[in-house]
Structure formats: C-alpha cells, structure tokens
Chains A and B, each alone.
Chain A
Amino acid sequence: MDVLARYESIIDDYDAFLDACMRPLPTTVRVNTIKATVDRVVEALDAEGVSATRRSWDAAVLEVDTAKPGNTWPYVHGWIHGQEEVSVIPPRVLDPQPGEVVWAAAAAPGSKATQVAAQMDDTGLVIANDDNLGRLSALRGNADRLGVTSMAVTNEDARFQTFEPFDVERVDRALVDAPCTCEGTLRKSPDALEGAGPESSRHIATVQRDILSRAIELTKPGGTVVYSTCTFAPEENEAVVDSVLDEGDAAVVPFDVPLDSSAGLTQWDGTSYTPTLERTKRFYPHQNDTGGFYVAKLEVTA
C-alpha cells in the first residue's frame, strides 16, 4: 500500500479509498447480448439458486452471489462473462455502432473486445490485437464461447500495426486499453502493487504513448479513440494523453458515465497538463465499490 501514498494529495477521502482497497471486490458478470437477454440470464441463474442484482447504471452488468459464476449454465452457454464493473466503462465510452470497423489495440484476454462486438450487434469488424501470443488463446477462447462472429484476431506489436490484411487503412474507432501497472486491480490481485511505482510507470508510459499515437493515426478523422488503464498513476494516464495531444491530431472530448468519478488531473508532480484533461475521468474504488480505472475519450481531428 506504500506505493499508493503518493496519491494522498489527489484523492478525496483518502482513508475511505484505502479501506475500499482492502476489501474484496463484489463478483460481477456482463451479460453477453449476442446470445442472451438480461432477463433470461437472471432467470437461469435464479433456477440454479444464484441471485443476480442488476446494476442501475448498466443493465448488462450483474452482481452475482457466487464466487464462481463460471460454474453455472449461463456461463457454459456463453451468456455471461466474468468482468469487473469498471472494466465495462471503456467500451461504453467508445460507443461503437453496428457495421463499423473497430480496432482493439491490446485486446487480450478479450472482455472489452467481446463487449465491443456485442455493442455492434456482432456485425461489422472488430480487429482484436495483442502482442502476447500466450494471451491470445484466452482471447480466442472467450470470443468463441461468447459466439462472436465479427472478430478478427491479430498478433502484432500495436505500435506498428497495419490493417492491410483487411484492406482497411483507418478504422472508425479504436480502443486502447493499455498495458499498465494495474494498481487499480489490487482488490482482485493482492500482488498487483508489486513492481508498481513512478519509475515503472514512466517506463511503461513510453509504450502506452506509442500505442495511443498509433491508434490516432489509424482512426478516421472524426472517429473516436478511447484510452484507458486500470492504474492510478498520472504518468500512465493524464501524462500519456497530454503528450499525444501535443502531436495535434486529436482532442479530448467530454463523456458521461452514470457512476461517481473524479476529473482527470491537470497537474502532477510539478508538471501542468492541457486543461481539457479535466474531461477525462478517474474511477476510484471507494466511489462505486469497484476497482480503479482511468478513461479518456478522444476525437481524431486530422
């Protein structure tokens, strides 16, 4: 927890934050609307004695009173996918439409990429990429169980990705759910803070910046790029977005999510960022009883 001490000055009610970080997460699942409706999932879980509570802000997110939702019929049928509540936010902000071509730059294990496919009614094309071959099998396994027919999986370094195999130059939208130090997942993984710290964050930020920059290059003018991480570190969040904005090809745009959040930082550690970073959002564990997340929505301008 010492790693978190440097955030005391930026987090409202820091003690409540620390308390929340110590508590285990509620178990949540996302309903896969490609295969089932929320009502059928709730009914099928109920028949197995598992009660499910709908989250008011997103009907497809259910809190379930079992630690093992994978041992239920709805899971076997690909009707549900175990997914942390805040991890549902980035695809919602991306707001992909049926028939579009969308790039998920760092997609494994595929929770958000399959959610993107579901939001598009499983039509169009989701190009789901990951540079880690070992994690691709999880991505493919999840996409197959969820019955996704609109996804292509690629194994590239996202910083140099092209869409040549698909005869596509630029996509309509891109999701950069970046590889990060994962501080925000500590409620799920107690060892999440190992190796975290400003030095790790600055190191990984160079990769994050290159992937985000590539996503802007590869998205059509007027298109949307969503950048997200599951970490609190400003070096991996606002600083990354700020440095990419300097290139002048994208602008931060406001978005709404019906959950409590804090505005993105406009300064940190003696450095000031572009004022529009206030439009980005930080989701802290004590605000909605979730993990931690950072989300920025960008519109490509050139």
Chain B
Amino acid sequence: MNDSGVPLAPDGGEPENRSDRFERLPATEPERRVPGRPTRDAVVEWWSERFDIDPATFSAYTFWEKGAGRVWALHHTLTGPVAVESLGLPILRTRQEFWKPTTNAAQRFGTEATRNVIELDGAAAKRFVAGEDHDIEWDGDWGYVIAAHRLAGELEPIGVGLYTYGTLQSMVPKGRRRDF
C-alpha cells in the first residue's frame, strides 16, 4: 500500500486494472492511480453532455470498473475492491475511442435523457428491437444515441443505437432482440 491506501502492482510499477474484481472509480483525475481508468466525474459528465441527464441522478451511486473499461453503477456505498461476480448494473464501456452506453443503462436512466434520443414509430421500433438497421433522417449528433418509442403514454427508451451517415444501427444485444 502507498500513502493513499491504493495497492501498488506486484512489480512495484503502476497499478493495473484487474479482471477478477471490482475496483471503485476515483472521484477525480488527481485521485486516479490506475492508468486509463475513467473517473467518476468523467462518467457523470459524459451522461450529462451526451444525453443531458442531470448529474444529480447519479449522486446515490458508486461506480466500479471490472475488466478493462467496463463500468458498473451500484446504488450503495462500498469502498472495495470487491471480488464478486457482479456489482450493480453494467452501464458503460470506456477505454475505446467513443464511450458506449449499455442497453441496461439506456433503459434504466434513459428516461431522463433529452438529448440524442431518437423517437421511433411503431414499425421502426419493432425493426430496431429485432436488431435491424434502418435509414433515418435526423439532425442530431453522430455516435451512440438512445432509441425510444411511445409506450403507455410516454417516451420509453428501448436501447442504444449507433447513428452515422443517415443510418441507425441497432446495438440491441442478441439475447435481448425480439421479433414481434
């Protein structure tokens, strides 16, 4: 352990991310010890900038990384590290050029999003959940978006899409697809 209680790597080099346990995200850049690990601030800011989700939404959550760049949200406070199978809800993949939200996060927190949400009509929503891509005219940002449709009177997020060159690509995982 060093002064801040952060374990050092066995060879005395920089601490590395580990795939066998959950480690809590550092709150801010100066607190980061593991290279490449996103900070809590950055995660909250990303949801705010990309989808206009109020940072206060996440105030009761702790964020964790297990496996490179896989970020989980837990509605509970622990210090960690925690060597368990899963901890909270997987919400985000970082450590790639563009951060990618999960279907779970889009459904759980996407109801609060007001930016980069594409509303699909009934037929398009069915195609999206079946995993099909479709051409769509839309003047928002390129990149990962939340696809939503009207259900029981309100806009409800279905999942994540990748919007580029006039095409919305469905990112619904195979196990979550449905052919209605």
Contacts and interface: CB of A to CB of B under 8 A. Distances in A.
Q: Do A and B come from one complex?
A: yes
B89 interface: yes
A59 interface: no
Given A73-B151, A122-B75, A154 B108 contact: no
A44 B108 contact: no
Contact of B82 (A71, A143, A147, A152): A152
B79 A140 contact: no
Given A44-B151, A47-B152, A76 B176 contact: yes
B76 A125 contact: yes
B166 interface: no
Contacts of A144: 89-90, 104
Nearest to B80: A165
Given A76-B176, A123-B60, A144-B90, A149 B74 contact: yes
Given A140-B85, A152-B82, A153-B85, A78 B74 contact: no
Contacts of B84: 152-155, 165
A145 B104 contact: yes
A75 B156 CA distance: 13
Nearest to B108: A147
A287 interface: no
Name the residue in B76, B78, B178 with the highest tally of chain A Cβ atoms < 10 Å from its Cβ.
Answer: B76
A44 B104 CA distance: 20
Contact of A154 (B61, B73, B85, B104): B85
B173 to A, nearest CB: 10
Contact of B178 (A71, A78, A136, A150): A71
A150 B108 contact: no
Contacts, number: 86
A140 B90 CA distance: 10
Given A124-B76, A155-B85, A165-B84, A149 B61 contact: yes
Interface in B81-108: 82-90, 104, 107-108
A35 B85 contact: no
A269 B176 CA distance: 49
A166 B87 CA distance: 11
B158 A77 contact: yes
A75 B78 CA distance: 31
Interface string A55-88: 0000000000000001101011110000000000
Interface string A167-181: 100000000000000
Given A73-B151, A123-B76, A166-B78, 5 more contacts: A123-B60, A124-B75, A124-B76, A147-B89, A150-B75
Interface of B: 60-61, 73-76, 78-79, 82-90, 104, 107-108, 129, 151-154, 156, 158, 175-176, 178, 180
